[in-house]
Amino acid sequence: MIPWLEGDDPFPPLAAALKLPNGLLAAGADLSPARLLDAYRRGIFPWYAEGEPVLWWSPDPRMVLIPSELKISRSLAKTLRNRDYEIRFDSAFDAVMLGCASRGGAHANAGGGATDTWITDAMRTAYQGLHELGYAHSAETWIGGELAGGLYGVAIGRMFYGESMFTRVRDASKVAMVHLVRRLERQGCGMIDCQMHTTHLASLGARAIPRTEFSLRLRELVDYAVMPTKWNSPEAGCDVAA
Protein backbone atom coordinates (compact mmCIF):
# COMPACT_ATOMS: atom_id res chain seq x y z
CA MET A 1 0.00 0.00 0.00
CA ILE A 2 1.07 3.56 -0.66
CA PRO A 3 -0.12 6.62 1.28
CA TRP A 4 -2.73 9.04 -0.03
CA LEU A 5 -1.61 12.65 0.23
CA GLU A 6 -4.05 15.36 1.23
CA GLY A 7 -3.39 19.09 1.25
CA ASP A 8 0.05 19.76 2.71
CA ASP A 9 0.75 16.16 3.76
CA PRO A 10 4.50 15.51 3.47
CA PHE A 11 5.93 12.92 1.12
CA PRO A 12 6.91 9.61 2.74
CA PRO A 13 10.62 8.71 2.84
CA LEU A 14 12.01 7.40 -0.43
CA ALA A 15 12.82 4.06 1.18
CA ALA A 16 9.06 3.45 1.43
CA ALA A 17 8.67 3.35 -2.37
CA LEU A 18 7.42 0.08 -3.83
CA LYS A 19 9.72 -2.30 -5.67
CA LEU A 20 6.87 -3.27 -8.02
CA PRO A 21 6.02 -1.07 -9.75
CA ASN A 22 9.50 0.29 -9.30
CA GLY A 23 9.50 3.51 -7.32
CA LEU A 24 5.78 4.15 -6.76
CA LEU A 25 5.79 6.22 -3.58
CA ALA A 26 2.45 7.97 -3.04
CA ALA A 27 -0.79 9.12 -4.65
CA GLY A 28 -2.94 12.19 -4.38
CA ALA A 29 -2.19 15.83 -3.62
CA ASP A 30 -1.98 18.28 -6.53
CA LEU A 31 0.40 19.73 -9.11
CA SER A 32 0.84 23.15 -7.53
CA PRO A 33 4.25 24.80 -8.01
CA ALA A 34 5.02 24.39 -4.31
CA ARG A 35 4.20 20.66 -4.36
CA LEU A 36 6.16 20.04 -7.59
CA LEU A 37 9.25 21.91 -6.41
CA ASP A 38 9.17 20.07 -3.08
CA ALA A 39 8.90 16.77 -4.94
CA TYR A 40 11.83 17.48 -7.26
CA ARG A 41 14.01 18.65 -4.39
CA ARG A 42 13.43 15.24 -2.78
CA GLY A 43 14.02 13.24 -5.97
CA ILE A 44 10.32 12.56 -6.63
CA PHE A 45 8.39 13.17 -9.85
CA PRO A 46 4.74 12.80 -10.98
CA TRP A 47 3.67 10.36 -13.68
CA TYR A 48 0.15 9.08 -14.21
CA ALA A 49 -2.32 8.37 -16.99
CA GLU A 50 -5.43 10.33 -17.87
CA GLY A 51 -8.21 9.58 -15.37
CA GLU A 52 -5.85 8.41 -12.61
CA PRO A 53 -5.00 10.30 -9.43
CA VAL A 54 -1.60 11.98 -9.32
CA LEU A 55 1.03 9.27 -8.74
CA TRP A 56 4.46 10.09 -7.34
CA TRP A 57 7.61 8.10 -8.15
CA SER A 58 11.21 7.66 -7.05
CA PRO A 59 12.68 4.59 -8.81
CA ASP A 60 15.72 2.62 -7.76
CA PRO A 61 18.17 2.62 -9.47
CA ARG A 62 18.04 6.10 -10.97
CA MET A 63 19.22 6.94 -14.49
CA VAL A 64 21.40 10.06 -14.55
CA LEU A 65 23.68 11.88 -16.95
CA ILE A 66 26.73 13.71 -15.61
CA PRO A 67 27.30 16.58 -18.07
CA SER A 68 31.02 15.84 -18.43
CA GLU A 69 30.18 12.22 -19.38
CA LEU A 70 28.14 13.15 -22.45
CA LYS A 71 28.84 10.80 -25.37
CA ILE A 72 28.39 11.83 -28.99
CA SER A 73 28.43 9.16 -31.70
CA ARG A 74 30.11 9.77 -35.04
CA SER A 75 26.77 9.98 -36.82
CA LEU A 76 25.42 12.50 -34.29
CA ALA A 77 28.64 14.53 -34.49
CA LYS A 78 28.16 14.73 -38.26
CA THR A 79 24.61 15.99 -37.77
CA LEU A 80 25.85 18.58 -35.29
CA ARG A 81 28.44 19.85 -37.78
CA ASN A 82 25.93 20.27 -40.59
CA ARG A 83 24.67 23.50 -38.99
CA ASP A 84 21.37 23.41 -40.87
CA TYR A 85 19.44 23.92 -37.66
CA GLU A 86 18.97 26.52 -34.93
CA ILE A 87 18.85 25.80 -31.21
CA ARG A 88 16.55 27.85 -29.04
CA PHE A 89 15.80 27.73 -25.34
CA ASP A 90 12.40 28.60 -23.83
CA SER A 91 11.07 30.09 -27.06
CA ALA A 92 8.22 27.58 -27.47
CA PHE A 93 7.82 25.78 -24.16
CA ASP A 94 4.17 24.83 -24.60
CA ALA A 95 4.76 23.70 -28.19
CA VAL A 96 7.47 21.35 -26.92
CA MET A 97 5.08 19.92 -24.34
CA LEU A 98 2.46 19.46 -27.05
CA GLY A 99 5.05 17.74 -29.25
CA CYS A 100 5.88 15.34 -26.42
CA ALA A 101 2.20 14.72 -25.72
CA SER A 102 1.34 14.07 -29.35
CA ARG A 103 3.65 11.05 -29.47
CA GLY A 104 2.52 9.56 -26.18
CA GLY A 105 5.07 11.44 -24.12
CA ALA A 106 8.38 9.59 -24.00
CA HIS A 107 8.58 9.64 -20.23
CA ALA A 108 11.63 7.83 -18.92
CA ASN A 109 9.57 5.89 -16.40
CA ALA A 110 7.58 4.35 -19.23
CA GLY A 111 10.67 2.60 -20.55
CA GLY A 112 9.91 3.81 -24.05
CA GLY A 113 6.82 1.64 -24.30
CA ALA A 114 4.04 4.02 -23.31
CA THR A 115 1.15 4.39 -25.71
CA ASP A 116 -1.14 6.53 -23.57
CA THR A 117 -0.56 10.23 -23.23
CA TRP A 118 0.39 11.18 -19.69
CA ILE A 119 0.98 14.86 -20.54
CA THR A 120 -2.59 15.90 -19.79
CA ASP A 121 -3.98 19.42 -19.80
CA ALA A 122 -3.41 19.49 -16.04
CA MET A 123 0.25 18.56 -16.50
CA ARG A 124 0.72 21.17 -19.21
CA THR A 125 -0.83 23.83 -17.00
CA ALA A 126 1.32 22.81 -14.04
CA TYR A 127 4.61 22.89 -15.93
CA GLN A 128 3.66 26.08 -17.74
CA GLY A 129 3.33 27.55 -14.25
CA LEU A 130 6.84 26.38 -13.38
CA HIS A 131 8.05 27.79 -16.70
CA GLU A 132 6.59 31.20 -15.89
CA LEU A 133 8.40 31.06 -12.53
CA GLY A 134 11.70 30.30 -14.30
CA TYR A 135 12.06 26.67 -13.17
CA ALA A 136 10.84 24.68 -16.20
CA HIS A 137 12.73 24.99 -19.49
CA SER A 138 12.69 23.73 -23.05
CA ALA A 139 15.54 23.06 -25.45
CA GLU A 140 14.39 23.20 -29.08
CA THR A 141 15.80 22.25 -32.47
CA TRP A 142 14.41 24.38 -35.30
CA ILE A 143 14.90 23.56 -38.99
CA GLY A 144 13.65 25.86 -41.73
CA GLY A 145 11.66 27.87 -39.22
CA GLU A 146 9.81 24.77 -37.95
CA LEU A 147 10.10 23.07 -34.57
CA ALA A 148 11.78 19.74 -35.40
CA GLY A 149 12.27 18.32 -31.92
CA GLY A 150 13.13 19.13 -28.35
CA LEU A 151 12.75 18.36 -24.69
CA TYR A 152 11.70 19.98 -21.46
CA GLY A 153 12.52 19.64 -17.79
CA VAL A 154 12.98 21.40 -14.47
CA ALA A 155 16.07 23.19 -13.12
CA ILE A 156 16.63 23.69 -9.40
CA GLY A 157 19.98 24.86 -8.06
CA ARG A 158 22.60 22.91 -9.99
CA MET A 159 20.26 20.04 -10.87
CA PHE A 160 18.27 19.48 -14.03
CA TYR A 161 15.40 17.00 -14.18
CA GLY A 162 14.58 15.80 -17.69
CA GLU A 163 10.90 15.10 -18.26
CA SER A 164 10.14 14.27 -21.89
CA MET A 165 11.43 14.67 -25.45
CA PHE A 166 10.13 14.33 -28.98
CA THR A 167 11.45 14.44 -32.52
CA ARG A 168 9.92 15.04 -35.93
CA VAL A 169 13.25 14.89 -37.78
CA ARG A 170 15.91 12.27 -37.18
CA ASP A 171 18.26 13.19 -34.31
CA ALA A 172 16.46 16.49 -33.64
CA SER A 173 15.83 15.64 -29.99
CA LYS A 174 19.43 14.42 -29.56
CA VAL A 175 20.75 17.66 -31.04
CA ALA A 176 18.65 19.63 -28.55
CA MET A 177 19.87 17.38 -25.74
CA VAL A 178 23.53 17.91 -26.63
CA HIS A 179 23.11 21.68 -26.60
CA LEU A 180 21.19 21.51 -23.34
CA VAL A 181 23.92 19.42 -21.69
CA ARG A 182 26.62 21.82 -22.86
CA ARG A 183 24.64 24.78 -21.58
CA LEU A 184 24.06 23.10 -18.23
CA GLU A 185 27.76 22.23 -17.96
CA ARG A 186 28.68 25.88 -18.51
CA GLN A 187 26.20 26.82 -15.79
CA GLY A 188 27.80 24.45 -13.30
CA CYS A 189 25.09 21.79 -13.34
CA GLY A 190 26.33 18.67 -11.58
CA MET A 191 23.76 16.09 -12.65
CA ILE A 192 20.83 15.56 -15.02
CA ASP A 193 18.06 13.29 -13.79
CA CYS A 194 16.93 10.91 -16.55
CA GLN A 195 14.65 8.95 -14.18
CA MET A 196 14.77 5.42 -15.64
CA HIS A 197 16.73 3.59 -18.32
CA THR A 198 16.14 4.17 -22.02
CA THR A 199 18.52 3.14 -24.80
CA HIS A 200 18.14 6.65 -26.26
CA LEU A 201 19.62 8.27 -23.14
CA ALA A 202 22.13 5.49 -22.50
CA SER A 203 23.58 6.15 -25.97
CA LEU A 204 24.31 9.71 -24.81
CA GLY A 205 26.19 8.54 -21.71
CA ALA A 206 23.44 8.28 -19.10
CA ARG A 207 23.89 5.52 -16.51
CA ALA A 208 22.06 4.04 -13.56
CA ILE A 209 23.10 4.73 -9.97
CA PRO A 210 21.53 3.54 -6.69
CA ARG A 211 18.76 5.76 -5.36
CA THR A 212 20.74 6.32 -2.14
CA GLU A 213 23.65 7.74 -4.14
CA PHE A 214 21.27 9.83 -6.24
CA SER A 215 19.71 11.30 -3.09
CA LEU A 216 23.08 12.20 -1.61
CA ARG A 217 24.19 13.97 -4.79
CA LEU A 218 20.83 15.65 -5.09
CA ARG A 219 21.06 17.21 -1.63
CA GLU A 220 24.44 18.67 -2.54
CA LEU A 221 23.15 20.26 -5.75
CA VAL A 222 19.62 21.57 -5.17
CA ASP A 223 20.55 24.04 -2.42
CA TYR A 224 22.85 26.16 -4.56
CA ALA A 225 21.48 29.68 -4.76
CA VAL A 226 20.71 29.86 -8.48
CA MET A 227 18.11 32.44 -9.43
CA PRO A 228 15.32 30.85 -11.52
CA THR A 229 14.98 32.66 -14.83
CA LYS A 230 13.94 32.01 -18.42
CA TRP A 231 16.60 30.92 -20.89
CA ASN A 232 15.39 32.83 -23.96
CA SER A 233 18.51 32.63 -26.10
CA PRO A 234 19.20 31.20 -29.57
CA GLU A 235 22.31 29.19 -30.40
CA ALA A 236 22.95 28.86 -34.13
CA GLY A 237 25.01 25.91 -35.27
CA CYS A 238 27.21 23.93 -32.89
CA ASP A 239 30.83 23.65 -31.83
CA VAL A 240 30.50 20.28 -30.12
CA ALA A 241 33.22 17.76 -30.88
CA ALA A 242 32.71 14.00 -30.94
- 62-236 CATH pick, 3.40.50.10540, 1.10.10.60, 3.40.630.70, 1.10.287.130: 3.40.630.70
Could you say which architecture CATH assigns to the domain 4-57? 2-Layer Sandwich (3.30)
pLDDT in tens, 167-223: 999 999 999 999 999 999 999 999 999 998 888 889 999 999 999 999 999 999 998
> What is residue 110's three-state secondary structure?
helix
Report residue 37 CA to chain centroid gap.
13
Going by C-alpha positions, the residue among 142, 160, 203, 204 that lies closest to residue 178 is 204
Range scoring the smallest mean pLDDT among 90-94, 110-114, 175-179, 187-191? 110-114
Domain positions in the chain are 4-57, 62-236
Rounded to whole angstroms, the Cα distance separating 235 from 179 reads 8
Matching fold, domains 4-57 and 62-236: no
CB half-sphere exposure, 73, CA atoms < 13 A = 11
User: Which pLDDT belongs to residue 47?
Assistant: 95
Interhelix angle for 121-132 vs 33-41, to 10°?
80
Per mean pLDDT, which range of 5-19, 55-69, 99-113 is the poorest? 99-113
For residue 43, the one-letter residue type is: G
